[in-house]
A and B are shown apart, each in its own frame.
Chain A
Amino acid sequence: MTARDLLPILAFAAVVALAPLLVSSNVVLNFLVFTMIIALAAQGWNLLGGYGGQYSFGHAAFFGTGAYLTAILQVRYGMNAYPAFAAGIGLAALVGLAIGFLAFRSGLRGSYFALVTLAFAEVFRVLANASEVTGGAAGILIRLRADPANFQFAERGTFLWVALALVTLALVATLMLERSRLGAQLVAVRENEAAAQALGVDVLSVKLRTIALSAGMTGAAGGLYAQYFLYLDANIAYGTWISVEALLAPIVGGAGTVFGPVLGAVILHGLAEATKSIAGSIPGIDLVVFGIVLILVVRYPPRDLPGLLRRRRRP
């Protein structure tokens, strides 16, 4: 990996980092922070789904685990936010390993893997809704103490920079994965498992390492969510909405590409915000837009938007 490979990522980071200096609108900054959180969750999904071809419908399981542990360790055990956040990432990765071990060891693939992940996320949601430690249906509230030492920031712009830094790290990590042995073997598994095995790829190990990375990354998005909104309940943390967001953004923006999830998150949330401002407060109108976008993407697969633009230019 050379400096030139990093250039697009740094350029992206620089542009977003300028936003808090140029705009002070809370609506815009909120939009950007939320988009960054989704982009991070989606980047996690992209490692396993985009590069590895293992389509998870249950990344909420990892998002929620990262979010809940970050919150619970602070609220119930008085831990500082940063180690709590790190522990959340670690536990999310472990949950990923466990689900991956159960699913991949028995050779579940395609829609079966998708269903199993969906089922796990739903079980977690029901458990979190009933359990005491998560605050049950009432949810859990992180006390507002706006201080960088608590991973809370008085300015939304500062939080945006933190979120952006994590997304940038995720982009670099993805690029590194793409250039690594694991990345090559992962793509080989996606393209053809039998052929990969014949070439010495330990398919189970590759999938397990990837799902741990993927779950950790999406768990980080969960922890970030908890620190930004300071409130969680089961339908937020383990809800299907985040599973859908995490897979929709990469599919729209280009699964198995470094920038796909970020691009997809920006497009989806840009569209959703635009529709809301045009159509007013019709509940669920943004979901209608997501649905339409998904149908269009499935019907006319662009592979990725850069590809589509290139094709348009040279018919």
Chain B
Amino acid sequence: MTGTGPDPAFLAVRGVTKRFGGLVAVNDATLDVAEGSITGLIGPNGAGKTTLFAVVAGFEKPTAGLVLLEGEDITGRRPHELARMGLARTFQIVQPFAGLTVRENIAVGAFLREAKRPAALAVAEEVAMRVGLADQLDKPAAALTVAGRKRLEVARALATRPKLLLLDEVLAGLNPSEVRDIVPVVRAIRDSGVTVLMIEHVMQAVMNLCDRVHVLAQGRIIASGTPAEVVAAPEVVEAYLGHGAAARLKGGAHA
């Protein structure tokens, strides 16, 4: 065990700081993700959520701090090694392999665990079914709608058979009915035994899906708790609406 003794958390982020020159994108962030949970990471734009994701998934080395997966120190490991260990991520700005079909896109993920093409293609089909892309398998990825591309991001990540899935704003840019369609998909992923950590702005989905939520503002974790606790916390309201907003809202309610 590293640091302060046994850590019960499945994923533990301990005092992670990431500086880009003079800019502190993530400042001493500590958070836990329990095994089998859907945990949310919310915060205003520019709070450092995606940077924190990049650190956890190995795309950025933290300036300070540790990331532990099932108690093992994974800080600074490269993305493909982490993927092999069972950590998968999606990208906020979708990154399809545009020249390939949906099937081939998902198969790239499946090839992580399958050496042979027929097996990888079979996994791709099965995963496409789970995320609702089964009827688009032979379409070029470039021809998908925004919602389709978001599903593709999830499908490719799932095809690597992760233990922990990091979803970076998979609901952003979707209309309300598309959001309603994807929410059960995320829940089904968790129910199949994959722990989910999601960055999300769509509060309806966060309230619906997440067991716990961490709030990041200006690089710091300012609140953690159940979704209901977190949205009621004054520091969270102020992070979104500005200094004094919580008091004013409260005052307004009294008047």
Q: Is this pair of chains taken from one and the same complex?
A: yes
CB-CB nearest in chain A for B99: A191
Judge if B156 is at the interface, Cβ distance under 8 Å. Answer: yes
User: With contacts A181-B115, A198-B57, A198-B157 known, is A187 near B97, CB below 8 A?
Assistant: yes
- Contact yes or no, A194 B91, CB < 8 A: yes
- Contact yes or no, A201 B80, CB < 8 A: yes
- Contact yes or no, A197 B99, CB < 8 A: no
- Contact yes or no, A200 B80, CB < 8 A: yes
- Near B by CB (< 8 A), chain A positions 246-282 give none
A194 to chain B, nearest CB (A): 6
CB-CB nearest in chain B for A200: B83
Judge if B102 is at the interface, Cβ distance under 8 Å. Answer: no
Q: How many residues on B have C-beta within 8 angstroms of the other chain's C-beta atoms?
A: 32
User: With contacts A180-B117, A184-B104 known, is A200 near B109, CB below 8 A?
Assistant: yes
B156 to chain A, nearest CB (A): 6
Judge if B171 is at the interface, Cβ distance under 8 Å. Answer: no
- Contact yes or no, A192 B107, CB < 8 A: no
- Contact yes or no, A198 B91, CB < 8 A: yes
Judge if B208 is at the interface, Cβ distance under 8 Å. Answer: no
B152 to chain A, nearest CB (A): 10
Q: How many residues on A have C-beta within 8 angstroms of the other chain's C-beta atoms?
A: 19
Judge if B95 is at the interface, Cβ distance under 8 Å. Answer: yes
- Contact yes or no, A199 B108, CB < 8 A: yes
Judge if B132 is at the interface, Cβ distance under 8 Å. Answer: no
A5 to chain B, nearest CB (A): 12
Residue from A179, A184, A202 having most chain B Cβ neighbours under 10 A: A184
Top 7 nearest A-B pairs (CB, nearest first) are: A200-B83, A191-B97, A200-B112, A195-B95, A197-B79, A188-B108, A199-B109
By a beta-carbon cutoff of 8 Å, the part of chain B in contact with chain A is 57, 59, 78-80, 83-84, 88-91, 95-100, 104, 107-109, 111-112, 114-117, 120, 156-157, 159-160
Q: List 27 A-B contacts (CB under 8 A).
A: A179-B117, A181-B111, A184-B104, A184-B107, A184-B111, A184-B117, A185-B108, A187-B99, A187-B104, A188-B100, A191-B99, A194-B95, A195-B95, A195-B97, A196-B108, A197-B79, A197-B83, A198-B59, A198-B88, A198-B89, A198-B90, A198-B95, A199-B88, A199-B157, A199-B159, A200-B160, A201-B108
By a beta-carbon cutoff of 8 Å, the part of chain A in contact with chain B is 179-181, 184-185, 187-188, 191-192, 194-203
